[in-house]
Amino acid sequence: MERKDKTTGTVAGIIANLVIVEVNGPVGQNEICFIKHRDETLMAEVIKVNGLQAFVQVFESTRGIRPGSEVEFEGHMLEVTLGPGILSRNYDGLQNDLDKMDGVFLKRGDYTDPLDRDKKWSFKPLAKAGDSVKAGDWLGEVAENGMPHRIMVPFKFEGNYKVKNVAEQGEYTVDDQIATLENSDGDEVPVTMVQKWPVKMPIKAFAEKPRPFKLLETGVRCIDTLNPITEGGTGFIPGPFGTGKTVLQHAISKQAEADIVVIAACGERANEVVEIFKEFPELDDPRTGRKLIERTTIIANTSNMPVAAREASVYTAMTISEYYRSMGLRVLMMADSTSRWAQALREMSNRLEELPGPDAFPMDLSAVISNFYARAGYVYLNNKEQGSITFIGTVSPAGGNLKEPVTESTRKAARCFYGLEQARADSKRYPAIDPIDSYSKYLDYEEVQKSLQKNMGDHWHANVLRTKDILLSGKEAMEQINILGDDGVPIEFHERFWRSELIDFVILQQDAFDDIDCSSPLDRQKYMLEKVLEVVDTDFTFSNFEEVSDFFKRMINQFKQMNYSDFKSDKFHNHEKELENIIAERKKEAVEN
């Protein structure tokens, strides 16, 4: 899209962050331009072209801009800079390095370089002279916070190239030339460690994109046991304010089997973003023993920033994720919350006076969300290596209404639904995922079923169905008890209720702040589920409902102590033995009576 001569124009009208520009040459959809205001240059993006008028959304406040202000178009779309040094960085939606900015409030028109241009990286060549390569192929690598960062043939290169030469092993900056390629016309093309790519175009430098088939272990029991997600899969977490979306995302980020974590904090301006910036640098990485932030990149755009910057943040995060996926790495991308992104789309759509859809959201909201979710996935690269992006977004529906347009549109796109329930959160049952309404469509995949059988045993599916039946039966029994009172229902109803409570307390609830219970490996999940179901399926005899509650409370306490003990340790087995004694004691009392 780049042009030799830049198009210019002048401001003709301003509607909040939407600026109408009279142009004197060609412009393209999503092209970047800069509006000159005194000593400032404000970045904007073309979102509509009508004749000689371009409608641009400005990424900054438009205060002070007047009709007649000069505008210069760049001839390319909004791009991110890709290269070594992205990890551990805190960016905004335009990939400005927030740590390089001064002051409490960000200065308008202040743009910073996302990479450290002076740092030297230890480069190791992977390709050699004479090799035939194409976009996305690896030319060499550097070590970035202990991770292999591959230097690739730029994604914008089309066709096959011949490697003329590759730099020897040594120390180089990102702008040093590390290879020379030769195209089909015989022209030599220099390559550095840096390349740029437009954020709204998917990176397709891979050979094949199969259906996800590998189970992704998150360490969260109510996800892995009941509704698992796959490596390269998609899921979303809708829930009202205060139901634990952010804590759940933190737990998954810390424990999931991923090499790289990319977080898009797109909209929340209070606790959520503050917690990310304060807590992530302090979190220990259980996989590497280092700090989690060393393999994490944060893209932050809060709700007091212009809508255009909020919209860009999720695309910037996804493009960075695709970049690391092309290195053969497993990337986990989290977005909190995509509702703010959708609201940004609604604001710009309204200013463009487009035909509104439900709740004034754009008519094509469902298609936009689906296209974005489709950029995640599992891929085979050109060299047969594998990479993946697992994407989990949160949705903050107004008033907790899960029927609103953003939640409904996301439900169509995502394969896993982890709905957070207000009642569970109010009763401090965390994670507050509704075990009955939540689901995983990956359970229908034969490859996933085989993976689950391998990790959770041949009877995992029957056990999961049995677990959900008990939870549903317990919920129905609780409703009857609440209506008719403890004495108004048979003891059988109390037994059904407490059997579901046993599963709830032992399997569904998890302590994210306990060093042991915060993460539960699959072999432990399998063992505990089978143990709980064994107890649940045992027949007991009770004379009144108080005996039922006392007995199950004692068992719940022992099970929870097992959850807080190292798996199969002496302490674990002691609590298990005490549990068996409680059951044996109950059976003995039943025989005597």
Q: Is 328 annotated as a binding residue?
A: no
Question: Contact at 8 Å (CB) between 272 and 265?
Answer: yes
Which pLDDT score is estimated for 440? 96
Q: For 573, how many CA atoms within 13 A lie in the half-sphere containing its CB?
A: 3
Structure tokens at 29: 């959809």
**403 and 525 in a common domain:** no
- Among the residues of 219-331, which ranges form H helices? 221, 245-255, 271-279, 307-325
Q: Is 242 annotated as a binding residue?
A: yes
**221 and 138 in a common domain:** no
Q: Is residue 83 part of a domain?
A: no
**161 and 237 in a common domain:** no
**553 and 505 in a common domain:** yes
Which pLDDT score is estimated for 590? 64
Question: Contact at 8 Å (CB) between 451 and 216?
Answer: no
Q: Is 243 annotated as a binding residue?
A: yes
**485 and 559 in a common domain:** yes
Question: Contact at 8 Å (CB) between 71 and 37?
Answer: no
Q: Is 239 annotated as a binding residue?
A: yes
Amino acid occupying residue 160: N
**275 and 368 in a common domain:** yes
Ordered DSSP codes for 235-263 = EEEE--TTSSHHHHHHHHHHHSS-SEEEE
Which residues of the chain fall below pLDDT 70?
1-4, 104, 267-272, 302-305, 590-593
Q: Please give the tally of structural domains in the chain.
A: 4
Question: Contact at 8 Å (CB) between 84 and 96?
Answer: no
d(CA 363, CA 369): 12
- Residue 403: exposure state from Cβ atoms within 10 A (0-12, 13-18, ≥19): exposed
**231 and 158 in a common domain:** no
Looking up residue 37, the CATH number of its domain turns out to be 2.40.30.20
**354 and 238 in a common domain:** yes
Q: Is residue 175 part of a domain?
A: yes
**128 and 257 in a common domain:** no
Would the CA dihedral through 202, 205, 206, 207 be positive or negative? positive
**370 and 313 in a common domain:** yes
Q: Is 140 annotated as a binding residue?
A: no
Structure tokens at 335: 């977005």
Q: Is residue 87 part of a domain?
A: no
Q: Is residue 150 part of a domain?
A: yes
Looking up residue 549, the CATH number of its domain turns out to be 1.10.1140.10
Looking up residue 416, the CATH number of its domain turns out to be 3.40.50.300
First-to-last alpha carbon distance for the chain, in angstroms, is 86
Residue 490's CB is within 10 A of a number of other CB atoms, namely 11
Ordered DSSP codes for 85-126 = T-TT-EE-TT--BGGG--SSSPPTT----SS-SS--EEEEE-
**236 and 338 in a common domain:** yes
Q: Is 4 annotated as a binding residue?
A: no
**362 and 434 in a common domain:** yes
Q: Is 497 annotated as a binding residue?
A: no
d(CA 363, CA 349): 9
d(CA 326, CA 542): 61
- Among residues 391, 425, 449, the one where a domain terminates is 449
Strands (E), 344-431: 377-380, 386-395, 416-417
pTM for this one? 0.94
Domain that holds residue 138: 121-193
Which pLDDT score is estimated for 138? 97
Residue 197 vs residues 78, 97, 315, 429: alpha-carbon distances, Å: 8, 17, 11, 44
d(CA 379, CA 28): 31
Q: Is residue 203 part of a domain?
A: no
d(CA 137, CA 384): 11
- Among residues 193, 224, 240, the one where a domain terminates is 193
**What SS3 class is residue 433?**
strand
Strands (E), 428-578: 439-440
Q: 494-531: buried (b, 16+ CB within 10 Å) or exposed (e) per residue?
A: bbbbbbbbbbbbbbbbbebeeeebbbbebebbbbbbee
DSSP 391: E
Is the backbone of residue 71 left (phi > 0), alpha (psi -120 to 50) or beta?
Answer: beta
- Among residues 428, 449, 470, the one where a domain terminates is 449
